[in-house]
Structure 1
Amino acid sequence: MATAAGTPPIGIAAALSFLAGVCTCLWLPWLVPWWLSLIFLCVAGRCLWRGVQSSRLREIVPGWWLAGMALAGLHAAHALALQLPAAPARHDAVVTGRILDLPEHEPRRTRFLFRVDDNVADARLRGRDLRLAWYEDDPARRSALRAGQHWRFDVRLRAPRGLRNPGGADAEKFAMAQRLSAMGYVRSPGTARLLASAHGVDAWRDGMSERIATGVHRPSSRFVRALALGDVRGLADADWTVLRANGLTHLIAISGFHVGLVAGFFALFVRAAWWTWPNLARRVPAPIAAAAASVVGAALYTAMAGFALPTVRTALMIAIVAGLRGLRRRIPAGECLALAAFAMLLVDPLSALSAGFWLSFAGVAWLLWCLPENDGSAVRDFLSAQGVASLGLLPVAAILFGQASLAGPLANLVAVPWWSLAVVPLSLFGLGLESLHAGAGEWAWKLAAWCFDLSWPLFEWLAASPLSLWWLPESRWFALPLALLGAFWLLLPRGTPGKSLAALLWLPLLWPDRRLPAPGEAELLVIDVGQGQSVLVRTARHTLLVDMGPAVPDGFDAGERAVIPVLHALGVPRLDAAVVSHGDNDHAGGWPAVAALYSAPRLFAPEGIHLPGSRPCLAGAGWTWDGVRFRFLHPPLDFPYLGNESSCVLRIEAEARSALIAGDIGEVIERRLVRERPADVQADVVLVAHHGSGGSSDPAFVAATGATQALVSTGHGNRFGHPRPFVVERWQRAGAAVHDTAMAGALRVRLGRDGVDVEARRQAHPRLWDAARRGESRSAGLSYREDRGGRGPEG
């Protein structure tokens, strides 16, 4: 990019450099100090100033890279500073404020975003954004929560904290990107008081969504609300399953194309007005008026959509093109995209943490590069665009979501033109009519729903076909750049040599190394499920799942949110056996969700919990897989079901190394095992019984195991205070290193020829947003791995 002296150094090269700087900062495992970011910013300003004066790209590019590093570092430091401290785990407060966005109404709770007023008593919460939940069985009371209302709540809060597993969503990254200060719930719904009625754009969106729901008596009205207003609250899990299987999630909520349609309608309306009254052109030329109208239309619709990232990107591009049109300057589409990326990252560098940023800009960039000219055939251009988008975005989608849809290209060939040219315009037209007169838009919404219903059966059929969703195992860091290089190579013009070899560059992404144990070795993955337990055991060719974590009715289900994503990320095609150690919810609650996707030929459970198809886990029973021996030590035959004390205790022996999964047994059963099976109790690795409670880990049992590694599965800040500090100290005095999922995330343990290796997810994959938590642990005089203090009653 050449720049004339005095011209702002903004273009494709500069945008890529700025983006690289932002990504470098956000992908570092530690937070750049704010003072160092300020130094970077000053150096960047000097480089850019000299680059502008001399028109030298070698100073402009490093300048923008440093600017990206500095701005991202300052925004990240500010976002983390907004969050409540991790200790104490419970923060009670009385707050007033306004409900943002659309509340999500569920059968037993309502979740919503809440902005606290600037005059509340707690200075740490003034002006902060909270993610709250209102738990109550009466849906009528919870339905009173509307976007734009002003409320007074008594809340219980905690610092943003999430699970950390292979393939799992990162709640802490989301909280930082959204500048959330805390998460929590309304403590006393009966004392909540409405201070002011709903008002603003979000209130208008909520009201329009309700009008569509009441005016359109078809099930597909939920899709009309999503396409018209970005309101996806009505979509069930089954709907999202069909959309993901067809690669259509990018269309169902408001996309950039919808913003372009609205902007085009506004421009056409102004053009028609100027054609009808030619004298208007004497005041403002028609092209400039149409460009300004398109910006107004794009801005209004972006606000209606809740400022979703794809809509903001398109609105920025429209504003840039319109502004240059007003200055009577033309700009290539690639430069326009670069300016839009600049504008978005300058305002919010943390937007680079969202999947929408990459899908939006990467998709447009691929199309601009591969389809530079219009050959006059609309059908051919459309097919080419679909092919380019499917191939070019497949590596990005695979990394972001760990999945690919083989039915996606075919489904998009139908959905893109039909939904975008029929369903969406009718939905938007209905909004316009309804805004002018109540009830005037119902016929348009009904017609939009009818049009949608014509296509939905096809997508349901595709979702049930072998072409549906393909889950991809978690790949190494180099898989994405290699796959993007392969896509670039395949999309080069005809005649480019070696295209068949380009497919080999996709192998690390599509068929990554699953890190399976060698014959005779075993791997245990203690999944981070919060206050519960789930352990995945792998041998060379077999897989066993012991427990599935907790599940709350109409709430968090560890089987769905933690265990299944881990199975997908590790490329587990099936479960050869499963064990439900006992019937408590924190161990067995996630089994129905797992069983719905993964059927286990053998299911073991203690007698008395009556799981369909299960067989008892009797002491002495066992089997051997790939040279690894599995054997139950408890409960014995005719042992009555006593809850925790009846837990299945499993011993795993591999390559002269052993592990013991003790369930929730207490001191009585531990002493019995030491007395009756002293040799079987010896193990290198022990999953500490009952999450490290005070009623387990009997001193004699701890000493008899001789373990070098003690694993604890707990939830951060759980209300039981697990693991108890004296229990942790007991294991440490016996010579064991203690690892807790609450602090370390998922724990990967390899029982191999060379010994026992333990890998903590948070340590093996450190993230910038972990920095604040690590700092708090160090300041309290605790190690990151062995932080046992500050556990309040709030889970």
Structure 2
Amino acid sequence: MPTAIAAAASLLAGVLLVQWLPMLPPCWCSGLLFPLALLLAWRCPRWRWLACLLLGVGWAAWRGSVAMDARLPRALEGRDFAIVGTLVDLPLARTDASRFTLRVERAMLDGRPVDLRGRITVSWYDGAPSLRPCTRWHLLLRLKRPRGLLDPGSADSERSALERGIVATGYVRDDDGNHPLAGPHWCVDGVRDAVARGIAARVRDPHDAALLQAFSVGDTRGLSQRDWAVARANGVSHLIAISGFHVGVAAVFGVWLAMLVHALWPRCGLWLPRPQSQAAAALLAAGIYSALAGFGLPTVRTLLMIAVVALARCSRRGSSGEQSLALAMIAILLVDPLAVLAAGFWLSFVGVAFLMLCLQARGRGLRAFVHELSAGQLVMTVALLPLTLWFFGQASLVGALSNLIAVPLVSFVIVPCALLGMLLLGLCPPLATPVLWLAARLVHAQWWLLQHMAGWPGAHWYLPALQLHALLLALLGALWLFLPRGVPLRWLGLLLFLPLLWPPRPVLRDGAFQAWVLDVGQGLSVLLRTRDHALVYDAGARYPSGFDLGDAVVLPAIHALGIGHLDLLMISHGDNDHAGGAVAVASAFPQASRYAGEPARMKLPMRQCVAGQAWQWNGVHFRVLNPAPGRGDSGNDSSCVLLVEGHGGRLLLTGDISSRAEPAVADALGRGPAPVLLVPHHGSSSSSGAAFIAAVKPPLALVSAGWRNRFGHPRADVLARYAEAGVPVFNTAVEGAIALDFPADTRPWREPGWRRRQARYWRE
């Protein structure tokens, strides 16, 4: 019979194989793997590891198929549904909308029931009522399938939707039938919300209250983008998301409580021996706190490990830490194999595995505790560095020091104070106020220090997007570095980090350039680089909620593509879908020159772009074709139109010009090869006139538009004009980010869109 560790590794390998597939196998194929795995495990004991692997493949493929089939049918996208459901998790109220997750109980379309089960994420615009978790609602929703932006370096929201069980996204329609329903109003999320509101009512400073809510019950609704940036710069995001260590602290409280009960009533040991009562109390306390923390993956992993140890103790059997970790992984994979799609799964299990393998106990006492704490932070920082870069595109070189300060303070002082305050909120609310006040002052002092450390050199460390082989080699190198003393040549583990630290980067020749039309939804952003220079043309939108595509898409793409500096930021005109993200980009690269078609509408100082401006980088010529002098107040027709000319081809960036400005732009093109065209105004009917297309004669055209956007861009009549001219059109809404290569000695060519280059079965 395979050990728990071998079984966990084989099962994990099988689950992972499925996640790399661009398409899932048919269900009958997955079904055949189950009896095959059972037969192999029964008849060939030596091959039971293979049986676990086949079980993992079949189980993950079947669960993936079920999850994808549960999504809203494509034929029903954009329709209005009458939904009855219950609010789960914690609703988020913003200035522009309230956002929440609804678990569907019943769905109706045109008066007929629809088979739609699962969770949907919903936005409620324009005066949403106060929403509480666990309440039931009848709502009229317009729904579509989960679909996100796909760009280099950005988060994969479609993968996240699959892992979270989201079957549709949508928004509330104005309807008199939208109303709450009677039903049970108690659930764990309701308790979390009540605790969060209790903290907010007793802590005067809203920011301190938000931090305390995050540390105590995982309620991050009050944290700003700046707070998350500080957390990432210090490598303490795991503490905000409730780390597994906090659950361990809660378990220790349970042990102490059992010890106190036995000390006060020794006769209770006659009915329940002390070791068994301590194990049960630890598991109970850990379970309650995990529920209050929202059952995140790190907390579930720790809870399962505590459960294994508690069951072993109650049955008077031994259990090592490695076996507990392996059994916890097996339990998670059997319950939900899609958990491997979450970054928390890997950061949690890999981090604990490294601590078990690399840390050696050095006796007891304060000196040994300090050594294990400091060595543990060093191990975690180095070991999780590759995974952090893989999932988030950035890491913190000051994380070891920050965690050395934050972990003991949060885990041994702030969280116990918060736990005590939460307990007093239910037992004696007046006594909770001074305890929570103390916790808030400690949080305030700690965050003040972390904010200062976030400005240190190395706090924000970016590397180009990692290749899988570089990730695996770096993890192996980290393991080699921290092998026990006596193992020779441990320093050679540093060499395995070289593919991660110095990834290969294509070198452009003089006269060559590359361009990426990023997927920013209904907006525009183009990233362009020559051998030594880089330019951003437009930066996407920024929304009232604070979501900024400049920060969420443009900057990650710059870092993922290995661009270390920016020379020029050009914003075509002042509309939000082009200019909203400019502040974020300019803040990250303050040395970059800035030009705009409508500088007066910008939220930062910019110079006017004018037809005739020109410069040259590495043999690539740049020339502004629009607006004419004195025409910087003409709305869309004030857009900076930029022509980029390399030895192998030309690219024309048009912003939102209309058919009124197109003739002048066509005349200004001059002689030369037909340029690749960025379709004006996202394919609006007011642009891309037939005469303009005939004058430019582009070999291909690119559209930057949002999926199922409310403007209907690109319009059908516009696409028909390009088709009639024989011009192929590619849309970021369909392709994801689109890369163009203009070599110095050959014709330009288009690489497959990011949605096709990064094909996975969960992507639309």
Letter in 2 for 1:171: S
**1:661 and 2:661 matched:** no
CA contact (8 A) 1:681 1:704 kept: no
Aligned to 2:123: 133
Residue from 454, 458, 462 that aligns with 2:453: 462
Identify if the C-alpha distance between structure 1 residues 673 and 217 changes in structure 2 by more than 3 Å, giving closer, same or farther.
Answer: closer
Q: CA-atom RMSD, angstroms?
A: 2.1
Letter in 2 for 1:637: P
Question: Paired residues, what number?
Answer: 754
Q: Deviations over 1:97-147 (max 9, x none)?
A: 21111111222321111112247566446442111112235xxx63x2111
Residue from 736, 756, 759 that aligns with 1:763: 756
Match runs of 1:775-794 below 5 Å? none
Match runs of 1:443-592 below 5 Å? 443-592=434-583
| Larger mean Cα displacement after TM superposition, 182-191 or 385-394 | 182-191
Match runs of 1:208-607 below 5 Å? 208-218=195-205, 219-376=207-364, 377-599=368-590, 601-606=592-597
What secondary structure, in the 3-state scheme, does the structure 1 residue paired with 2:748 have?
A: strand
Q: Deviations over 1:299-323 (max 9, x none)?
A: 2221111111111111111111111
Letter in 2 for 1:619: A
What secondary structure, in the 3-state scheme, does the structure 2 residue paired with 1:440 have?
A: helix
Q: Deviations over 1:548-600 (max 9, x none)?
A: 11222225422122112212222333321121112222212221222222225
Superposition deviation, residue 32 in structure 1: 2.5
**1:156 and 2:146 matched:** no
Query: Residues of 2 paired with 1:167 and 1:688: CA distance?
Result: 25
Identify if the C-alpha distance between structure 1 residues 288 and 177 changes in structure 2 by more than 3 Å, giving closer, same or farther.
Answer: same
Letter in 2 for 1:632: V
Query: Residues of 1 paired with 2:152 and 2:431: CA distance?
Result: 50
| Larger mean Cα displacement after TM superposition, 117-126 or 643-652 | 117-126
Letter in 1 for 2:136: H
Q: Deviations over 1:234-280 (max 9, x none)?
A: 11222211111111111123221111122222222223323433332
Residue from 60, 63, 67 that aligns with 2:55: 67
Superposition deviation, residue 493 in structure 1: 3.0
CA contact (8 A) 1:150 1:196 kept: yes
Superposition deviation, residue 91 in structure 1: 2.3
Aligned to 2:20: 27
Identify if the C-alpha distance between structure 1 residues 125 and 300 changes in structure 2 by more than 3 Å, giving closer, same or farther.
Answer: farther
CA contact (8 A) 1:162 1:171 kept: yes
Aligned to 2:712: 721
Superposition deviation, residue 394 in structure 1: 1.0
Identify if the C-alpha distance between structure 1 residues 584 and 86 changes in structure 2 by more than 3 Å, giving closer, same or farther.
Answer: farther
**1:182 and 2:172 matched:** no
What secondary structure, in the 3-state scheme, does the structure 2 residue paired with 1:468 have?
A: coil
Superposition deviation, residue 38 in structure 1: 0.9
CA contact (8 A) 1:660 1:683 kept: no
CA contact (8 A) 1:89 1:717 kept: no
Identity %: 42
Q: Is there any run of 5+ residues in structure 1 with no aligned partner, and where?
A: 4-8, 774-795
CA contact (8 A) 1:678 1:704 kept: no
| Larger mean Cα displacement after TM superposition, 161-170 or 38-47 | 38-47
CA contact (8 A) 2:358 2:479 kept: no
CA contact (8 A) 1:578 1:600 kept: no
Query: Residues of 1 paired with 2:98 and 2:509: CA distance?
Result: 48
CA contact (8 A) 1:98 1:151 kept: yes
**1:738 and 2:729 matched:** yes
Superposition deviation, residue 535 in structure 1: 0.5
What secondary structure, in the 3-state scheme, does the structure 2 residue paired with 1:531 have?
A: coil
Aligned to 2:742: 751
Identify if the C-alpha distance between structure 1 residues 217 and 610 changes in structure 2 by more than 3 Å, giving closer, same or farther.
Answer: closer
Superposition deviation, residue 437 in structure 1: 3.0
Identify if the C-alpha distance between structure 1 residues 638 and 264 changes in structure 2 by more than 3 Å, giving closer, same or farther.
Answer: closer
Aligned to 1:620: 612
Aligned to 1:205: 192
Identify if the C-alpha distance between structure 1 residues 583 and 455 changes in structure 2 by more than 3 Å, giving closer, same or farther.
Answer: closer
TM-score under structure 2 normalisation? 0.95
Query: Residues of 1 paired with 2:714 and 2:241: CA distance?
Result: 43
Aligned to 1:792: none
| Larger mean Cα displacement after TM superposition, 746-755 or 198-207 | 198-207
Q: Following TM superposition, where does structure 1 have runs of at least 4 consecutive aligned residues deviating by more than 6 angstroms? A: none
CA contact (8 A) 1:523 1:749 kept: yes
Letter in 2 for 1:210: R
Identify if the C-alpha distance between structure 1 residues 320 and 454 changes in structure 2 by more than 3 Å, giving closer, same or farther.
Answer: same
Aligned to 1:778: none
Q: Deviations over 1:458-509 (max 9, x none)?
A: 2111111214121222122211011112112211233544444432321222
Query: Residues of 2 paired with 1:517 and 1:738: CA distance?
Result: 27
Query: Residues of 1 paired with 2:112 and 2:280: CA distance?
Result: 44
Query: Residues of 2 paired with 1:593 and 1:89: CA distance?
Result: 33
Q: Deviations over 1:675-712 (max 9, x none)?
A: x3463585241111111222322223223323222111
Identify if the C-alpha distance between structure 1 residues 654 and 200 changes in structure 2 by more than 3 Å, giving closer, same or farther.
Answer: same
Query: Residues of 2 paired with 1:516 and 1:499: CA distance?
Result: 34
Query: Residues of 1 paired with 2:665 and 2:672: CA distance?
Result: 7
Query: Residues of 1 paired with 2:699 and 2:617: CA distance?
Result: 25
Identify if the C-alpha distance between structure 1 residues 470 and 125 changes in structure 2 by more than 3 Å, giving closer, same or farther.
Answer: farther
Letter in 2 for 1:558: L
Aligned to 1:644: 636
Residue from 79, 82, 85 that aligns with 2:73: 85
Letter in 2 for 1:182: A
TM-score under structure 1 normalisation? 0.91
Q: Is there any run of 5+ residues in structure 2 with no aligned partner, and where?
A: none
Query: Residues of 1 paired with 2:226 and 2:524: CA distance?
Result: 27
CA contact (8 A) 1:93 1:122 kept: no
| Larger mean Cα displacement after TM superposition, 254-263 or 173-182 | 254-263
Superposition deviation, residue 170 in structure 1: 1.0
Aligned to 1:781: none
Query: Residues of 2 paired with 1:607 and 1:220: CA distance?
Result: 40
Aligned to 2:9: 16
CA contact (8 A) 1:37 1:69 kept: yes
Q: Deviations over 1:195-248 (max 9, x none)?
A: 237322211111111111011213422222112111111112222111111111
Superposition deviation, residue 766 in structure 1: 0.9
What secondary structure, in the 3-state scheme, does the structure 1 residue paired with 2:545 have?
A: coil
Identify if the C-alpha distance between structure 1 residues 492 and 514 changes in structure 2 by more than 3 Å, giving closer, same or farther.
Answer: same
Identify if the C-alpha distance between structure 1 residues 448 and 392 changes in structure 2 by more than 3 Å, giving closer, same or farther.
Answer: same
Aligned to 2:663: 671
Superposition deviation, residue 149 in structure 1: 1.2
| Larger mean Cα displacement after TM superposition, 556-565 or 66-75 | 556-565
